[in-house]
Amino acid sequence: MCRNCASVLTDHVFDVLASSKEDGLQEAQFEKAAVILLVRMSERNLALSCSSEGNLDSYDDYLTSLMSREGTPERITQEEMKLLLLSFSEYYKPQTHGKCFSTESLFEDVYDGDLGASLREMQHLSPLIVAYLLEGYCIGEADFPDPESFIQDVIALYGHDGVIPLEDFKLIMSQLGLGSSDDHSGHDHGEHDEHSEDVHGGHDHGDHDHSEHDHSDHDHHDHAGHDDIGGNEQCNITTTMTTTIMTITIMTMQRMSTFTIR
C-alpha cells in the first residue's frame, strides 16, 4: 500500500501549494511542505495516509490541524509538542541514538516556552523537525549541531539554485519512508555531490577525521519480524540512510552556529 506513497503525497503537496512541478519548491515553500508532511506523518494510519489525499485541501487547513492537535490553533505547548513527536514513534526508526532532538531542545529558541510556540515559530520549526527525521536522529535528549543549517544543507544537497525539483522532492519523500526504494533507484546523486561542493565553497572533507567517528551508536534494525503493508515494503517514516545522511552530518557538524527564530 505504500508503494506509491511518495508519488501520492508529492502530488498532493504540490497541488495544495499550487506549485509548478517543473519549477520545484523554493525554501519558503519547503517550510509549508514540511507542515503538510508533519500532519500526514502524525496520522495514526500511515498506510491510509499514503494511499489517499486526505480531507484537507489548503495549506491553512493543514496549519490549523497541526496547531490545534491538542489545544488552540494559536500556540503549541511543550506538552502538545511531545504528543506530536510521540505520534511518529510507531513508524519512525532512528538511525542513531547518539544524536537526538527533543521538545526541550526545539523550545530553547521559542520566545516564550511556557506560553508555547506561536504559529510563525511552528512554521519555522516544522522543516527542522522534518530535517531531523530525514537525518535519522532519535527523539529524546542529546546535544545536537545547529538545526538551521540542516535546512540549508537539505536545500543544497537536494536542490539547484535554491529550488528543490520535483524528482528530488520525491527522493526526500522516499528517504522519509513515504515510498519504496524503487522510487529513486535510478536517481543520479552525482549532481548533488558536485552541487553541495559548490554551495559550500569547495570545502575539503579530507580534514575530517573519520577514524574518530563512532559508528557504534547507529542502530541496525531487523525488520524481518515486522508485518509488511502491501507486499514486501515497510511503511516506516525513515528508511536506510546511507552516504546522503553522512554527508549532511559532516557538513552540519562543521558549520555549527547560533540559531535564533525570527
Quick one: CA dihedral 237, 243, 247, 250, positive or negative? positive
C-alpha cell at 144: 545536537
What are 118-165's pLDDT values in tens digits?
A: 999 999 999 999 999 988 898 986 544 556 667 777 888 888 887 888
What confidence score (pLDDT) does residue 129 get? 93
Among 71-75, 124-128, 183-187, which is the least confidently predicted range?
183-187
For the cut 50, the answer to whether the pLDDT of residue 229 exceeds it is: no
For the chain, the domains span 5-186+228-253
Cα–Cα nearest to 189, from 239, 252, 244, 238: 244
CA dist 80 and 253 (Å) reads 29
Which amino acid type is present at position 61? Answer: D
pLDDT band of residue 53 (cuts 50, 70, 90) is low
Supply the pTM of this predicted model: 0.54
- Long-range (24+ apart) CB contacts under 8 A made by 185-191 are 189/243, 189/244, 191/160
User: Which cell numbers in the block locate residue 116?
Assistant: 508555547
pLDDT for 31 beyond 50: yes
Q: How far apart are CA 17 and CA 62, in angstroms?
A: 11
Q: What is the pLDDT of residue 62?
A: 92
Is the confidence at residue 70, as pLDDT, over 90? no
